[in-house]
Amino acid sequence: MSLQRGDTVYLRYVGNIPTWSRDVFTALISGVGDRYVTVAIRGEAVRFERRSLRHDNRGRSPAYQLFLTREACDLEVEAAELRSLMSRTDFVNLPFETQRAIKAILEA
């Protein structure tokens, strides 16, 4: 993955402050090192591990997800929405035919 200073990346806040927007936003890479990529977010230098793109939040849970393309970001947002939807569904209480239909879709 070729990351260079000045490249545009796509980010999404995934931290635990409920009032912060979860909308996707763009930022510029401000530095690229051997181990970390630094991105300027709201005037703050935020580090991400270069190989995994995981937010280095200095021992705390990651607050941001970083994506190199808008498509990758949109796909992850959609997958998170689907996981959330499925976790709210009480699968065992659905009609048997509905369970079969969901199983067939998942196995396709």
pLDDT of residue 103: 84
Q: Tell me the whole-structure pTM to 2 decimals.
A: 0.77
How many independent structural domains does the chain possess? 1
pLDDT of residue 82: 78
- Provide the domain limits for residue 48: 8-107
Q: Tell me whether residue 1 is in a domain.
A: no
pLDDT of residue 1: 64
- Which stretches of the chain score pLDDT less than 70? 1
Q: Tell me whether residue 21 is in a domain.
A: yes
Strand order of the sheet with strand 64-67?
A: 44-49, 36-41, 25-32, 8-13, 64-67
Least Cα distance to 42 among 16, 20, 72 occurs for 20
Look-up: residue for tokens 């021992």? 59
The C-alpha atoms of residue 104 and residue 89 are separated, in whole angstroms, by 17
